[in-house]
């Protein structure tokens, strides 16, 4: 095959950009700091990336359909708090408490999906409303105070399986399943179809509303998994947990080549995008750059990524 | 006059009304198509052509009036309902999903599955889609080249062919073509017109909408003319000239 066609095909889902950016960052980081490639630091990066990446997984799928979910950070918080409150105050067994937290995430996602697909509120507004309600609900539930000190068996979720953090393995597993679903199931095909041409997809008889509902439910579920993971990692559920995470999740997806206009991108790319965000934060920490400057640096990187990705036509003609 | 078999039409729309807000888009239009008959639907912009065929293809319901298929009254709640009755539509612009490849577009909404049947979680049979898409396009005698190309990478004619192939894969009884040649070069237009004649031979009814009256007159058995939401003409194509048709379209003797 013509190598040009071959290259275009490989880059159809725009994985090359985030992969290149990640490679570049790793090289820069390794040369700037001797600590970067130590096993300790790598484990740290993998733990850190897990939670942002799992939020980004759900976010990326919503964006692929042409929507956006601003509520993932707040849904993370309420799911984490519900799990914590069930365990600490209600004395519910760990598996049930976790299921309760995940259930709250699914419910929040379902409400988002219903608002967007049935009531036809733009996803930006619907999920903004959900963000406020979920954040408020978290504060009401916890009285605005952290719930902390979980059983060891719960904290084990943030432990290690051999050399790898368990959190990372959970996230990685979710990504593998998600990517397979996107590439090989009817649902995945419809996610791309809805993002590419929603009206056309509806006209061939696809139940577009159901696809959107499902995508938001899965985003809610991902956020809830993130909430449980963060509980275990911090040994506490903070009512302010996940503030601003929706922006990190969106940034990871965009850096990973997911087009905000929908229909283009992949989870593989999103995963690299999340790694780019995390490694960047890690480098800045190792270089002892203050947190305030880190925000600026992340914003600049995102702007640069958005500019370079928007070159070329929407569907990579 | 093949297809005009004098018997009952395959599909009939009776007294169709449609309002959009305060606009009375269709004012009691009757419309019918026999099997194997090519009906040219013409009218100026805003005459109600698109509204009429969107009702026939299930995109929205009529506010008044009824649709009868093979003598039985039907109600289309969605394009899917219309498809289940054998009515397929090739839309002017909305046809394809640009970020999906050719087989994905042809089988959109009807993907063959390895396991899981019709469920959303079914695993796609991509090999079969590619093979059948290739066979289908060969039957239509069109060359798309690389089937793995995205629809957005194809030429206008190729896109139209893919859209038509998608409709034909479902073996419709009636094919509605909304401006199928609008974006095409002369050579490609001729191919589409040939295709319409082939459909007729296969006893498929065709509703052909076009602004180019020469094309409509070249393929249609019967011509239906709409003006401002009303039917102002319904005549066999050979009893009508293009000039007369234009007069009816714009009105005002």
Q: Rg for chain A (alpha carbons), in Å? A: 19
Residues B167 and B183 in one domain: no
Examine residue B235 and state whether it is found in any structural domain, yes or no.
yes
Residue span of the structural domain in which B223 resides:
1-86+174-253
Whole-number pLDDT of residue A151: 95
Provide the 3-class DSSP secondary structure of residue A165: strand
Residues B82 and B178 in one domain: yes
What percent of chain B stands above pLDDT 90? 60
The A residues from 226 to 285 touching B (CB cutoff 8 Å) are 263-264
Provide the 3-class DSSP secondary structure of residue A243: coil
Whole-number pLDDT of residue A11: 67
Q: What is the 3-state secondary structure (H, E, C) of chain B?
A: CCCCCCCCCCEEEEEEEEEECCEEEEEEEEEEECCCCEEEEEECCCCCHHHHHHHHCCCCCCCEEEEEECCEEECCCCHHHHHHCCEEEECCCCCCCCCCEHHHHHCCCCCCEEECCCCCCCEECHHHHHHHHHHHHHHCCCCCCCCCCEHHHCCHHHHHHHHHHHHHHCCCCEEEEECCCCCCCHHHHHHHHHHHHHHHHCCCEEEEECCCHHHHHHHCCEEEEEECCEEEEEEEHHHCCHHHHHHHHHCCC
Mean of the per-residue pLDDT values of chain B: 89
pLDDT at A131 over 60: yes
The answer to whether domain A41-310 has CATH 1.10.3470.10 is: yes
CA dist., res. A177 & res. A173, Å (int): 6
Residues B129 and B25 in one domain: no
Residue range B96-106: average pLDDT? 93
The A residues from 144 to 203 touching B (CB cutoff 8 Å) are 181, 184-187, 189-190, 192-193, 195-197, 199-203
Range in A38-47, A274-283, B31-40, B143-152 the model is least confident about: B143-152
> Which residue, of B171, B203, B228, is where some domain finishes?
B171
Q: How far is B245 from chain A (nearest CA, A)?
A: 31
Residues B62 and B106 in one domain: no
Residues B128 and B139 in one domain: yes
A172-181 pLDDT, tens digit each: 999 999 999 9
Ordered by start, the domain boundaries in chain A are 41-310
Provide the 3-class DSSP secondary structure of residue A120: coil
CATH code where residue B23 lies: 3.40.50.300
Residues B164 and B182 in one domain: no
Best of B81, B120, B146, B159 to substitute, by most chain A Cβ atoms within 10 angstroms, is B120
Residues B167 and B190 in one domain: no
Angle at CA of residue B225, ends B223 and B231, nearest 5°: 125
Residue range A201-221: average pLDDT? 94
**Is the CA virtual torsion A146, A151, A152, A157 positive or negative?**
negative
Q: How many domains does chain B have?
A: 2
Residues B165 and B123 in one domain: yes
Residues B77 and B5 in one domain: yes
Residues B54 and B121 in one domain: no
Whole-number pLDDT of residue A7: 65
> Which residue, of B139, B171, B203, is where some domain finishes?
B171
> Which residue, of B171, B202, B227, is where some domain finishes?
B171
Examine residue B93 and state whether it is found in any structural domain, yes or no.
no
pLDDT at B184 over 60: yes
Whole-number pLDDT of residue B26: 95
Whole-number pLDDT of residue A71: 98
Angle between helices A166-184 and A267-286 (to 10 degrees): 150
Examine residue B2 and state whether it is found in any structural domain, yes or no.
yes
pLDDT at A293 over 70: yes
Q: Residue A200: which of B97, B111, B124 has the nearest Cβ?
A: B97
ipTM: 0.86
Work out the pLDDT band at B180, boundaries 50, 70, 90. confident
């Amino acid at each position: 095959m013509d190598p040009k066609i071959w290259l275009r095909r490989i880059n159809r889902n725009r994985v090359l950009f985030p992969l290149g950016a990640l490679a570049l960052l790793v090289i820069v980081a390794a040369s700037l700091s001797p600590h970067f490639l130590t096993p300790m630091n790598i484990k740290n990066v993998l733990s850190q990336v897990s939670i942002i990446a799992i939020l980004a997984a759900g976010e990326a799928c919503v964006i692929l359909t042409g929507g956006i979910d601003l509520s993932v950070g707040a849904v993370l918080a309420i799911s984490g708090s519900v799990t914590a409150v069930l365990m600490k105050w209600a004395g519910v067994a760990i598996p049930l408490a976790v299921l309760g937290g995940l259930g709250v995430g699914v419910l929040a996602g379902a409400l988002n999906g219903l608002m967007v697909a049935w009531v036809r509120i733009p996803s930006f507004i619907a999920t903004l409303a959900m963000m406020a309600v979920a954040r408020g609900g978290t504060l009401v539930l916890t009285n605005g105070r952290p719930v902390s000190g979980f059983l060891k068996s719960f904290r084990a979720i943030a432990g290690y399986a051999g050399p790898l953090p368990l959190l990372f393995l959970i996230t990685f597993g979710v990504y593998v399943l998600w990517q397979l679903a996107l590439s090989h199931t009817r649902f995945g095909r419809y996610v791309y179809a809805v993002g590419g041409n929603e009206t056309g997809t509806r006209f061939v008889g696809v139940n577009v509303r159901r696809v959107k509902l499902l995508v938001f439910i899965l985003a809610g579920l991902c956020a809830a998994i993130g909430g449980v993971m963060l509980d275990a990692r911090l040994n506490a559920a903070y009512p302010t947990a996940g503030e601003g995470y929706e922006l990190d999740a969106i940034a990871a997806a965009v850096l990973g080549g997911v087009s905000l206009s929908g229909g283009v991108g992949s989870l593989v790319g999103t995963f690299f995008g999340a790694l780019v965000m995390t490694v960047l934060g890690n480098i800045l920490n190792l270089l002892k750059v203050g947190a305030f400057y880190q925000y600026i640096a992340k914003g600049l990187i995102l702007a640069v990524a958005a500019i370079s990705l928007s070159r070329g036509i929407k569907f990579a003609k | 006059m093949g297809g005009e078999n004098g018997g009952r039409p395959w599909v009939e729309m009776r007294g169709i009304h449609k309002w959009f807000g305060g606009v009375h888009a269709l004012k009691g239009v009757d419309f019918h198509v026999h099997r194997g008959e090519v009906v040219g639907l013409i009218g100026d912009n805003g005459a109600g052509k698109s509204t009429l065929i969107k009702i026939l293809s299930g995109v929205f319901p009529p506010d008044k009036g009824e649709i009868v298929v093979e003598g039985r009254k039907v109600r289309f709640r969605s394009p899917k309902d219309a498809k289940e009755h054998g009515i397929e539509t090739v839309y002017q612009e909305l046809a394809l999903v640009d970020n999906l490849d050719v087989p994905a577009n042809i089988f959109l909404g009807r993907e063959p599955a390895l396991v899981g049947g019709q469920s959303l979680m079914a695993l796609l049979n991509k090999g079969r889609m590619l093979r059948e898409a290739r066979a289908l396009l060969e039957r239509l005698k069109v060359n798309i080249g690389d089937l793995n190309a995205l629809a957005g990478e194809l030429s206008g004619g190729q896109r139209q062919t893919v859209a038509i192939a998608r409709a034909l894969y479902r073996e419709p009884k009636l094919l509605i073509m909304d401006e199928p040649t609008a974006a095409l070069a002369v050579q490609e237009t001729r191919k589409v017109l040939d295709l319409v004649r082939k459909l007729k031979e296969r006893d498929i009814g065709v509703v052909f909408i076009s602004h180019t009256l020469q094309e409509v007159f070249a393929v249609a058995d019967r011509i239906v003319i709409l003006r401002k939401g009303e039917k102002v003409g319904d005549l066999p194509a050979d009893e009508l000239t293009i000039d007369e048709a234009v007069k009816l379209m714009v009105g005002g003797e």
